[in-house]
Amino acid sequence: MPAPIPPLRITAHTATSAAGRGRAALLDALCARRTGLSRNDFGAAPLDCFIGRVAGLEDAPLPAEFANWECRNNRLAWLGLQADGFIDAARAARAHYGADRVALVLGTSTSSIGASEEAYRTLDADGNYPEHLRRPIVHQPHSLGDFVAAALGLDGPSVTVATACSSSAKVFAQAERLIRNGLADAAVVGGVDTLCDSVLYGFNSLGLVSPEPCRPFDPERRGISIGEAAGFALLEQRGAPARGDAPWLLGYGESSDAHHMSSPHPEGLGARRALEDALARANLAGDAIDYVNLHGTASQKNDEVEALVVSTMFPTTTRASSTKGWTGHTLGAAGIVEAVVSLLAIEHGFMPGTLNARTLDAACGPQILLDNEQREVRRAASNSFGFGGNNCVLLFGAPGTA
Amino acid sequence: MSGSAYVDGIALWSPRLAGWQAAAPILRGEAPPHEPQPRPAPALLAPTERRRAPDTVAIALEVASAACAAADADPKSLPSVFACTHGDLAITDYMCRTLAGNPAEISPTKFHNSVHNAAVGYWTIGTGCMEPSTALSAFDYTFGQGLLEALSQVGADDKRVLFSAYDIEAVGAMRSVTTSRGLLGGALVLAPARGARSTAQLSWQVVRSGDTPAAEPMPAGVDEAVADNPIAASLPLFRALARGAGRASVALSPAQSLLLEVSACR
C-alpha cells in the first residue's frame, strides 16, 4: 500500500461542458436536473445519437496571438480558462511562484485530432494538408498542453497525459508527485476533449453509442452519449497563501486492469486497486467517503462492474451517482469535469443523482442515487476508467478535513 | 530540483541500432550502424497479433521487455511511464483517411488501438501488470518530460519504474505536418536504490536551458540512422550510458533542461 501524502489545496477550479460554462451554470443544471445532451448535429452526416455539445465554439476563434494553435479543442480550452476567473488565478500563481515553478499537466484523449480530420477532408492536389492547416502543433497530442502553456505564460514542466478516459484524473497524481519532489511549487491541472468524427464513429464501431440520451445504471441502458468539455484546477501546497476556504486533494490511486483494451476487468480488480491506493494515500477507510462520482458511462459492462465494486467497497451510508446524463461522456475531460462535480458536492452539501436512469440495475447496491439529495459531503471520491484498462480514483475533502 | 536514481536495465531499438548490445558500441563510435533489421515482433503478444501489431506497440514492447530482462525485473511489479510524441501515425492516417471517405467503415480494433495509451495497455495486458501505467506526450520535449515523470515516480513512491519512449514514421498526408521518420525506441528500468543489477547511477538536475553543456556530435552515421525521429533526443543519455560515465542534457521545454550525470556502479 502507498504511504499517505501531504494533501494539496485546490485554490481554483472550473468546468465548461454541455451542462454550462463555469461552476454556477453546472450547479444550476445539476440542481434543476437539466440535461446538456441534445440530438447529434455534429459533422456532415451525423449518426443517430445524442451528444453533449458546447454551444458557440464555432463563433469563438482564438485571439490573434494564438492563431497558430487554432482548432476546436484549443477554442474549448480557451473558453474553459475564462470561466470562474480561472485564467486570473493561474496567472496570479505564475506571478507568485514564477513561470517555471507552476507545472502544467493536462489530460486529453484525442486532443485536436479534429483539425487532422478536417485536413484529410480537404487535401490538396498532391495529397498534402491544405496550407491553413499546415501547423504541426495542432496535429499531435500535446497541442493542448502547448497551447495552455502559451496562454498562461508558463515555462515549467508541461506535459499532456493521454490515457483515454482516465487522462484528466491522472493529472492530479502526476502534479502531486512533481510538487512533492520539489519540481514545482504549484500546478495547473485539467483536461479538454472535443467532439470529433474519430470518437463518434469510433465508439459507434464498437457498438457502444446509445441511440437515446445515456441512462447510466438503468437496466435498459443502451450505451454512452459522447460529450465535450474543458476543466481546470489549481493545486497548491498547505502553506500557500489561503484563497478562501479551499477544499483538498486528499489522495489518488492509479492502476491497470491487465485484462482487455476496451472492456473492463469483469470483477473490477483494477478499479478496486485504484480505490484502495487512493484511500491509503489519504489514510482513510471507505466509510469516510460520503459521495462517489462514478465513471458510470452507461455502457453495459462499465456500469455492471462499477456497481459491483461500489456495493462491496463502500458502506450503505455512502452515496454514489453518475453525472454523465448531464454532460455526456467527455472522455479525456471526464476526470476533471467530475472532479469539479465532486468539489461542488462538497461546497454545496448537494449530491446529484443519476439523470435519465428510470430504475436501477439489479447489480446496484443502496449506494447509487437516482434522485438528487441534499446532504453534507465532507469527503468525495471520483472514479475514472479508460481504454487499455487504465484506472484512476481521486479523493477530495472539505476545508477542515486535512 | 535535483535527485538521483539507479539504472537497472537499458534497452534501445532502431532498425540500424537493433538492441542495446549492438547499439552501445555504435554510440561509443567503435562500430558503424549496422544494416537495417526487420521490425521486432514482441513475444508478449499472441502469435496472431505479433505480425499485425501497430508499429508503436511493437517497438514500445520490444524495448520495455528488453529493459526488464536486463534488470532481471518481473514486469508485473513495475509501474510504467510510456512516452510518445505522435502516437501511432499509421493509425492516425488510417482513421483520418477512412473518416474522410467512409466513416461508417472504421475498424473497431483500429479505433481502440488509436488511443495514445494503446502500447502501455498491451504491455500491462501482456505482462499481467496491474501497477499504475501512463502515456504522455510533450511535442519536442516528449523524451525529457517522460523521463522526468519516471524519475518523479521513483522519488515519490520509492519503487522501481519502467520508462519506455518511442516514435515511428509518419505516413500518408501526415507527412505534410510531421517530420518523424524511422522507428526508434528506448527504455530504462530506474530504481530508487542500488541493486544487484544496477549498472549506473543517474544524478539529475533541472536547469535553465542556457546552463547546459554544448552538445557533443554523435559518432559518424548515427545521426543519419535515427536523427529524424523525435526520440533521438534520448541519444546523448544513451551514449553516456554506453560509455558508463559522462554528462548529457535533455530539453524539458524552451526554458528548462534536465542535466544528467551518469556514473558507473562498480
- Whether B137 sits inside 8 A of A162 (CB atoms) is yes
Residue A154 is inside which H or E element, if any? none
Mean pLDDT of A351-377: 97
pLDDT over 70 (residue A386): yes
pLDDT over 90 (residue A244): no
B145 chain-A contacts, CB cut-off 8 A: 157-159
Which of A165, A196, A214, A392 is catalytic? The answer is: A165
pLDDT of residue B227: 79
* Nearest to B79, CA basis, from B7, B151, B184: B151
Active site residue A295: yes
- Phi and psi of A289, rounded to 5°? -95, 120
* Nearest to A185, CA basis, from A282, A250, A98, A251: A98
Q: Is residue B138 helix, strand or coil?
A: coil
pLDDT of residue A334: 98
Residue that has been written with the C-alpha cell 448535429 in this structure: A41
pLDDT of residue A239: 85
pLDDT over 80 (residue B266): no
B254 chain-A contacts, CB cut-off 8 A: 155
A45 chain-B contacts, CB cut-off 8 A: 103
Residue A241 in contact with residue A232, Cβ under 8 Å?
Answer: no
Residue B189 in contact with residue B5, Cβ under 8 Å?
Answer: no
Q: Classify the complex by whether its ipTM is higher than 0.95, answering yes or no.
A: yes
Residue A303 in contact with residue A27, Cβ under 8 Å?
Answer: no
* Nearest to B54, CA basis, from B105, B100, B123: B123
Contacts of A38 (CB under 8 A, 6+ apart): A18, A50, A51, A52, A53
Positive or negative: CA dihedral A79, A122, A64, A100: positive
Could you read off the pLDDT of A48-78 as tens digits, one per residue? 999 999 999 999 999 999 999 999 999 999 9
What would the grid cell of residue A51 be?
451528444
Mean pLDDT of A246-268: 96
B190 chain-A contacts, CB cut-off 8 A: none
Mean pLDDT of B11-26: 98
CA distances from A87 to A91, A333, A394 (A): 6, 18, 23
- Phi and psi of A252, rounded to 5°? -155, 155
Give the CA count within 13 Å in the CB-facing half-sphere of B96: 27
A142, A178, A198 ranked by CB distance to B139: nearest: A142
* Closest CA–CA distance from residue A350 to any residue of chain B (Å): 32
pLDDT of residue A166: 98
pLDDT of residue A211: 98
pLDDT over 70 (residue A262): yes
* Nearest to B86, CA basis, from B12, B146, B136, B52: B136
Residue B8 in contact with residue B160, Cβ under 8 Å?
Answer: yes
Active site residue A259: no
Instruction: Give the mean pLDDT of chain B.
Output: 96
Could you read off the pLDDT of B133-144 as tens digits, one per residue? 999 999 999 999
**Angle (nearest 5°) at CA A354 between A351 and A357:** 160
pLDDT over 80 (residue A274): yes
Instruction: Give the mean pLDDT of chain A.
Output: 97
pLDDT of residue B50: 87
Mean pLDDT of B126-139: 98
Report residue A18's pLDDT band, with 50, 70 and 90 as the boundaries: very high
Mean pLDDT of A362-374: 97
B130 alpha-carbon distance from chain centroid: 21
Residue A297 in contact with residue A216, Cβ under 8 Å?
Answer: yes
Mean pLDDT of A34-57: 96
pLDDT of residue B215: 84
The two counts, helices (H) then strands (E), for chain B are: 9, 9
Mean pLDDT of A326-348: 98
Length, in residues, of chain B: 266
Could you read off the pLDDT of A70-121 as tens digits, one per residue? 999 999 999 999 999 999 999 999 999 999 999 999 999 999 999 999 999 9
Mean pLDDT of B47-75: 95
Mean pLDDT of B212-223: 90
Report residue A242's pLDDT band, with 50, 70 and 90 as the boundaries: low
Could you read off the pLDDT of B236-260 as tens digits, one per residue? 999 999 999 999 999 999 999 999 9
Q: Give the integer Cα–Cα distance in Å for A71 and A83.
A: 19
Could you read off the pLDDT of A209-220 as tens digits, one per residue? 999 999 999 999
- Whether A141 sits inside 8 A of B137 (CB atoms) is yes
pLDDT over 70 (residue B38): yes
* Closest CA–CA distance from residue A2 to any residue of chain B (Å): 7
pLDDT of residue A243: 65
Which of A71, A196, A329, A392 is catalytic? The answer is: A329
Percent of chain A with pLDDT over 90: 98
